[in-house]
Structure 1
């Protein structure tokens, strides 16, 4: 069994942009935001001002931070190994992320996960996921 620990401070700094300011501010408060299209109603990840589905205007909304593993891989050659996954968020979008605080041999597609913010080199919160309690 390989345990993958949180590795605060080793995450690269996310690029800064005017579109990410509200997301980062909310993340610093422990809140996870998504953008949802005002016209078609679809939520999407990565947050952007225009909807990737219909090009309509979008608005921020607080997300649940819950999802399920859609697909994953274990990077076994890294020391320590780490896991990358596509997580299907409860709100609909699928996001590429890291799985942390987990046992790589017990990961499974469909497994419930919850959001946890790791810290990048400059302290910016980075959204990651870990297995949900009881899941």
Structure 2
């Protein structure tokens, strides 16, 4: 892992669920719902298995469970590779946005980002 990647992992390791998240314009966008450290070997994302119509109800429910991150595969691969936060917010239609580790400007009493909330990908 390069020096920048190591620094990002150090920053992300100081973040805990429930912390406030503030975008680059100073708007509090929500709270951290999930913290995922980067995996430099992450290159693909597997979707949930398709449900067999003859499956039990438990199998059907399990097959429709959403894997994180719930975004298009190319973006999911980037998020998994670099590390990310899932932020619960009322500012997105789906109720959550994702933050790439490299978009974290500082961690103090909250998480400060270097982008406005409009630039963050929403959960699908």
TM range (shorter): under 0.3
The answer to which structure has the higher helix fraction is: 2
Relative to the length of structure 2, the TM-score reads 0.24
